[in-house]
Amino acid sequence: MNELAAKRNAVTELMRISPLADDLAGLFAAAGHRLYLVGGSVRDALLGRLSSDLDFTTDARPDRVLEIVAGWADAVWETGIEFGTVGVTKRGSTLEITTFRADSYDRVGRNPEVTFGDTIEGDLLRRDFTVNAMAIDLSTKQFVDPHHGLDALAQRTLDTPATPQESFADDPLRMLRAARFVSQLGFEPAPRVVEAMTSMAGEIQRITAERVQTEVSKLLLGAHPRQGLELMVETGLATHVLPEVPGMRLAIDEHHQHKDVYQHSLTVLEQAIALEDGEPDLVLRLAALLHDIGKPATRKFESGGGVSFHHHEVVGAKMARKRLRALKYSKQIVDDVSQLVFLHLRFHGYGKGEWTDSAVRRYVTDAGPLLPRLHKLVRADCTTRNKRKAAALQRTYDELEERIARIEAQEDLARVRPDLDGNEIMKLLGLQPGPQVGEAWRFLKELRLDRGPLSHEEAVAELRRWAQERGIS
């Protein structure tokens, strides 16, 4: 991308939304103020991917911005006004207008002491990366690029306007943002950025778990998550954020050969992504990355040079749950990811199809609504270099999916329930609501999983037999 072509892309994109931007710029000019399209919006315009969520900056103070947009915006919100940001919506677009900033940081926490600036150049200097430190003066359509962000964009390089040490000391979250941009945009961090991330990785502990989680999620949902994760591991950032990932780098000696668990997990992540349907799937990607984190804790060297990882799926599920909770993920995500990690190995007991119908039902029931993701995770986990073995594994899983489909055609596997409900159980056994009803219900569900649907008479007979064995009249 040469400079002229890049600017032409930006202007083309700007013209696409120009009535909106021009209207807003006109309002600010009439009020004696300047307005700039800035940051990620300019970067995306240069890349030809400008969205309807736009970022602006201005010399007008927040109270003045509110006066200017009053009556023009469809809606206004002041959530970020203490940081100088006024949000507005107009014709379906979301616009954030922030007063020039010239903040200072105590370098203990992350939140700055907000100070408003007077120049666009001063505002751009405090931004995270040079590709985000460009602006377009909307009154003249001129570029403002004091830190050569356009060159960095053309070279797909990630660098900081100030020194990386200054930038990351002000806000350590920028180190994670660097890894996120590597994933999202395929950029290469400048050597000095990598060096600063490596020496300052521990500073990320100043950042709250919620903010860390947001960046980790964006990284995983990017187009190149493997590269972003590798940067985190290479610099030591992952040791403080996702320590289980670098923890999978196991030393392998010549007498005990096994896969490099870390590289294998990154490969599984990539293969799971290739199996996604449409939108990126955070739960699937987290499960793919973490599915083998229990291996280091369960590794055992066997006689004859073998290596085992017995019950690593059980240990891994507990570890995944603990890590995701620490990162403040939602209960649903924690439950789903840990359950996928727990179930990912079960298929390998399927062998040559000797599972009973009961085992198939339990596989489907235990997966529940996660079954489509489990299918993808298991297929992605078949990473052997032996092409014949890999093809055999895929064929075996094809057979399992076909078998599930055949049983589903006869039974509602998605909603396996006992053949008698709680009310019938209480009526037949003369019970009041209580623990015994729950025990009977679970017995009938296990029976249903083992034998498939029963007739009403069979279910009643089995319930009476169960009750008699326990002395329930």
DSSP symbols for 143-192:
EE-TT-HHHHHHHTEE--SS-HHHHHHH-THHHHHHHHHHHHH--EE-HH
- Counting beta carbons within 10 angstroms of the beta carbon of residue 255, is it exposed (0 to 12), middle (13 to 18) or buried (19 or more)? exposed
- Counting beta carbons within 10 angstroms of the beta carbon of residue 76, is it exposed (0 to 12), middle (13 to 18) or buried (19 or more)? middle
Neighbours of 293 (CB within 10 A): 25
Contacts of 193 (CB under 8 A, 6+ apart): 158, 159, 160, 164, 178
Task: Name the β-bridge partners of 85.
Answer: 98
pLDDT recorded at residue 254:
43
b/e code 365-379 from CB counts within 10 Å (16+ = b): bebeebbebbbbbbb
* DSSP at 389: H
pLDDT recorded at residue 299:
84
pLDDT recorded at residue 307:
73
pLDDT recorded at residue 304:
65
The model carries a pTM of: 0.81
Distance linking the first and last C-alpha atoms of the chain: 83
Q: How many CA atoms lie within 13 A of 63 on its CB side?
A: 0
Residue 371's identity, in one-letter code, is: L
Looking up tokens 């599920």 gives 317
* Domains, the chain: 1-155 (3.30.460.10), 242-251+258-415 (1.10.3210), 422-469 (no CATH)
Block mean pLDDT (10 aa), the chain, length 473:
60 65 92 94 82 90 95 92 92 93 64 81 93 91 89 93 93 96 95 98 95 97 97 97 92 52 94 94 98 89 71 93 98 97 86 74 88 94 77 85 81 66 83 85 79 81 84 74
Selection from 130, 289, 293, 291 nearest residue 222 by Cα: 289
